[in-house]
Amino acid sequence: MSDAAQPTAAEVRAAAEAVKTALDRHLAAVERRSGEDDPAVYEAFNQLAAAAEVYDELLYDRHDEVTPFEIPAADDSLPPYTGPEEPNALSVLIRRDYAVVEPQRLLAQAERVEAVDDEGADTEASVTVHGALGILFGEFEADEIASRHKEFGLEEGDSTLWVTAADEPADPGEWLEAPFEQIDPQRVICRFDVSAVFDDEIDDDADLEEDEELEELEDGAEDDVEDDLEPQDADR
């Protein structure tokens, strides 16, 4: 980072003071806690985490130094649930990401679907990737696409599923224009995420365990060799 882009010493000091203030607020919220899931404590926690993260970044940029604090990501946990204990309705929000890895397979599947129609398969829609996607997602349910994605030339990416509680079912057509904009995190009953990031973490852990096992085996082999040599050395 260039000197011009570095934060000033005063900015780093101000960030440190913000952390101190956030610490005091967090402790005060904990001392006044009204229950296990007190929203005031949750908010104070987030403010402290945000202040610490800013300070950590400025400290590194200015002085090439880090703090000993590990700041948890905001998405690692949900806020305390404040929705109805007995929900009368619920919404299930799903997002699945795909990569188009085999466009020709995708186009061929769309042509097969169009071949069933009287107009045949050589329409303009089926010869473009975006047209083929429209045909396939119009023909098959999203869950079927998910289970057969390889047949359609797609590769799975990240996905997430949120189950949220509501007091009453939404009016027909009420949320269709913006289905994800009115999510209240405190009404999320449960959430399930699938990501390659998690697989990478598992693989890293497995590799670490494998390396440790190999080291133990090598150490054990060396000990055995030393044990075998000791009597010979004694005879000499």
**pLDDT(216) > 70:** no
| Residues 64 and 113 occupy one common structural domain | no
| Residues 94 and 70 occupy one common structural domain | no
Strands across the sheet with 188-194, in order?
89-100, 154-166, 188-194
Contact 195, 158 (CB under 8 A): yes
Q: What is the pLDDT of residues 170-189, one digit of tens each?
A: 899 988 888 888 788 889 88
For 39-48, 136-145, 193-202, which range has the lowest pLDDT when averaged over its residues?
A: 193-202
| Residues 98 and 137 occupy one common structural domain | yes
| Residues 134 and 188 occupy one common structural domain | yes
Three-state secondary structure of the chain = CCHHHCCCHHHHHHHHHHHHHHHHHHHHHHHCCCCCCCHHHHHHHHHHHHHHHHHHHHHHHHHCCCCCCCCCCHHHCCCCCCCCCCCCEEEEEEEEEEEECCHHHHHHHHHHHHHCCCCCCCCCHHHCHHHHHHHHHHHCCHHHHHHCHHHHCEEEEEEEEEEEEECCCCCCCCCCCCCCCCCCHHHEEEEEEECHHHHHHHHHHHHHHHHHHHHHHHHHHHHHHHHHHHHHHHHC
- The whole domain housing 168 covers 89-198
- What pLDDT score does 223 carry? 58
- What pLDDT score does 159 carry? 92
The structure tokens 């997002």 sit at 95
Asked, for residue 175, whether it belongs to a domain, the answer is yes
Share of the chain above pLDDT 70, in %: 73
Please provide the average confidence, as pLDDT, over all residues in the chain.
81
Single pTM value for the model? 0.52
**pLDDT(145) > 90:** yes
Asked, for residue 149, whether it belongs to a domain, the answer is yes
Query: Which tokens hold the place of 206?
Result: 């497995």
Mean pLDDT to the nearest integer, 59-63: 91
**pLDDT(192) > 80:** yes
| Residues 187 and 162 occupy one common structural domain | yes
The structure tokens 């913006």 sit at 178
Cβ-based neighbours of 128, under 8 Å, separated by 6 or more: none
The more confidently predicted of residues 226 and 47 is 47
For 23-32, 97-106, 109-118, 134-143, which range has the lowest pLDDT when averaged over its residues?
A: 109-118
Asked, for residue 181, whether it belongs to a domain, the answer is yes
Axis crossing angle, helix 39-63 with helix 9-31, rounded to the nearest 10: 160
Asked, for residue 187, whether it belongs to a domain, the answer is yes
Asked, for residue 177, whether it belongs to a domain, the answer is yes
- What pLDDT score does 205 carry? 55
105: confidence class by pLDDT, cuts 50, 70, 90: very high
Domain count, the chain: 2
**pLDDT(198) > 50:** yes
The more confidently predicted of residues 28 and 4 is 28
Asked, for residue 209, whether it belongs to a domain, the answer is no
Q: How far apart are the first and last CA of the chain?
A: 65
Mean pLDDT to the nearest integer, 21-38: 89
Share of the chain above pLDDT 90, in %: 39
| Residues 104 and 67 occupy one common structural domain | no
- What pLDDT score does 117 carry? 65
Asked, for residue 21, whether it belongs to a domain, the answer is yes
133: confidence class by pLDDT, cuts 50, 70, 90: very high
Rg of the Cα trace of the chain? 29
